[in-house]
Structure 1
Amino acid sequence: MNRALLKEQRIHGNPMYPVSSYVMEDLDYTTIMDCHWHEEWEFTIVTRGKVKFQIGTEYYEVSAGEAMFVHGGELHAGYRVGEEPCAFSAVVFAPEFLSSRGYDALQDKFIDPLLQKKVLPPAFISRNEAWEREVLALIAAVIADNERRSPAFELTTKARLLQIFAVLQGHMREQAQVSPAGDREKVERLKTVLGYMHEHYPSPIKLGELAGLLDMSEGHFCRFFKSMVHKSPVDYLNRYRIQQACRLLETSGHKIVEIAMEVGFDSLSYFISVFKQHQGCTPSQYRKRLAGTAAVQQAFGYSGPLVSERQ
């Protein structure tokens, strides 16, 4: 089983500038960020509403104006809190972007301990303390520079990221203080199950099959899975299959019934029902929207996302 399938496949930035910024607005569905991980580091700042972020086995309720830090390799997800739509912005960057070209005191004293996870920045950054407000302002400035492509934004981004970690130096935690070995084991076991789902989703997957991966009873496994992912195994698998169906609707000319079978549904009517539950429309309507939106985007030279996903 290839556990790496759970790893996010998106490329953030490019080798010369391994940094990307993202602005997500008017999110009115429950799961705004599925469980995933990537090697890059990430700062996410909530700009509207309230979001419950999961990092490993820990949960943080983050309000507008507050932020999260996610270290490389950490499983993380996000869930809207309440009925109000939420929004967030993020900057995702390769940690090596902060490294010195040659080995020096900065690399030895500050960067290497972060890269080796000997120390970790706080995961949650509120607005309570002056140092937190300084960090929040710097995160917002980094994202704004990258969105606007301000003059010398690459230089100001690196300078501000280094300044952020300079401010955070007095608030680092040692790895042993962060999460017990038992919690880390839970995350690794969850990665095993999710990776298996991502690899085998086109085929029938039975609950007992998943429970057997962790040597659990079906009941124990369902409780474990829902406590970690906030969904039942069936709900998570259906959501993942619908995501793959959307990709095929966007990139192939396959018939709807063929796509249903390719992503693991053996009933067309059930596929359409689940698709509508997640996307708010039928697969045929989704494809028609794509065609219309693509024509408008081509006319205006826009290359952003075509249709936002609902939950």
Structure 2
Amino acid sequence: MRYLEYKETLQRGSVGFPFAYYHITPSHPRYTMPPHWHDECELIRIQEGTFTLMVNRDIFSLHAGDTAFINSGFLHSGIPEDCRYECIVFDLDYYLKNHQYTPENLSTLLSQQKLIRTFFPASMTEFQEIFRTMVHALSRHQTGYTLITEGALYHFLGLLLRRDYLVENPGRGATHSKKFRECKTILNYIALHYTEPITLKEMAECVHMNPNYFCRFFREMTHQSPIAYLNYYRIECACEKLCMSNARVLDIALDCGFSDVNYFIKVFKKYKNMTPLQYLKQHA
């Protein structure tokens, strides 16, 4: 799962079955989930540990047995702690558009007049059973798994209607939308230019703000400072390169925008609690 792209554009599953399943453990090179979004919806199911989830500007604390639903286009990120979790990313619009009969109150999901609620605690056993069915089918790929997965999805949608769990979209106002467009613009800028020197002034100019206001804006949207996010993003990219290439640590540091290898190692230890070489040995 390439969470490092601020907006994921990967094809999920196949054209006729747009589902993808990911199992994430502490040894996974993309264990932490940086701010990103995608056009598909996503289910995040916690197996053990805790997971602090940020969705737009809301924060949720997830524990074993809890599940979160991420609506299409929503900015989200997560910080796991001693956590194992599963993600199902899928194109809900595909099923809403291609089903021969879509109830009117579900069609509001296509326009995002209404949204699916975010938090499904472990105590909501009816929903958790549906999520377990989907995970079991997608993780094992046994005969008939596509039909079982799609059946579980329709069961989920039907139960949402029965329980009246669709919610009004609070973010349809112009100001709210503008802020998220600006946030996505700067995340895109960082994703495209993280290998180069980037100053706070350059990031602020990207969204036509002065640096002081930009810092407040960025922290409001992502819960961290612009420079902290830039360093974090670069370290996540470095982790991926350490796992997927034979390049030297010095070359990876330079490729990820660090001009000083000693500073790179210092920042790496801050985020990963180990040196790049220790990380490489652990993930070899």
* Alignment TM-score, normalising by the size of structure 1: 0.78
Q: Give the letter aligned to residue 64 of structure 2.
A: A
Instruction: Summarize the alignment of residues 125-164 of structure 1 with structure 2, pairs less than 5 Å apart.
Output: 125-127=120-122, 132-164=124-156
Q: CA deviation at 1:288?
A: 4.6
- C-alpha offsets along residues 243-285 of structure 1, whole Å, 9 cap, x if unaligned? 2223333444433323222221111211122223333443344
> Which residue number in structure 2 is paired with residue 235 of structure 1?
228
Residue of structure 2 aligned with 1:115, choices 77, 90, 110: 110
Task: Decide whether the 8 Å contact of 2:194 with 2:257 is kept in 1.
Answer: yes
**Sequence identity (%):** 30
Q: CA deviation at 1:229?
A: 1.7
Residue of structure 2 aligned with 1:92, choices 89, 92, 105: 89
Q: CA deviation at 1:237?
A: 0.9
Task: Decide whether the 8 Å contact of 1:57 with 1:187 is kept in 2.
Answer: no
Q: Give the letter aligned to residue 167 of structure 2.
A: R
Task: Decide whether the 8 Å contact of 2:25 with 2:83 is kept in 1.
Answer: yes
Q: CA deviation at 1:100?
A: 6.4
> Which residue number in structure 1 is paired with residue 191 of structure 2?
198
Could you tell me how far apart the structure 2 residues matched to 1:90 and 1:246 are?
20
Q: CA deviation at 1:204?
A: 1.0
Secondary structure of the equivalent of 2:17? coil
Secondary structure of the equivalent of 1:47? strand
- C-alpha offsets along residues 170-220 of structure 1, whole Å, 9 cap, x if unaligned? 221233x45644333222211111111111111111111112233333232
Which has the larger Rg? 1
- Residues 10 and 239 (structure 1), Cα distance of their counterparts in 2 relative to 1, 3 Å cut: farther
- C-alpha offsets along residues 87-128 of structure 1, whole Å, 9 cap, x if unaligned? 322211122442465x73x23636543222232111222355
Secondary structure of the equivalent of 2:33? strand
Calculate the aligned-residue CA RMSD, in Å: 2.8
Could you tell me how far apart the structure 2 residues matched to 1:190 and 1:119 are?
22
Task: Decide whether the 8 Å contact of 2:48 with 2:82 is kept in 1.
Answer: yes
Task: Decide whether the 8 Å contact of 2:57 with 2:222 is kept in 1.
Answer: no
Could you tell me how far apart the structure 2 residues matched to 1:252 and 1:97 are?
36
> Which residue number in structure 2 is paired with residue 18 of structure 1?
18
Secondary structure of the equivalent of 1:21? strand
Query: 155-164 or 278-287, which moves further after superposition?
Result: 278-287
> Which residue number in structure 2 is paired with residue 65 of structure 1?
65
Could you tell me how far apart the structure 2 residues matched to 1:112 and 1:230 are?
33
- Runs of 5+ consecutive residues of structure 2 not aligned to the other structure: none
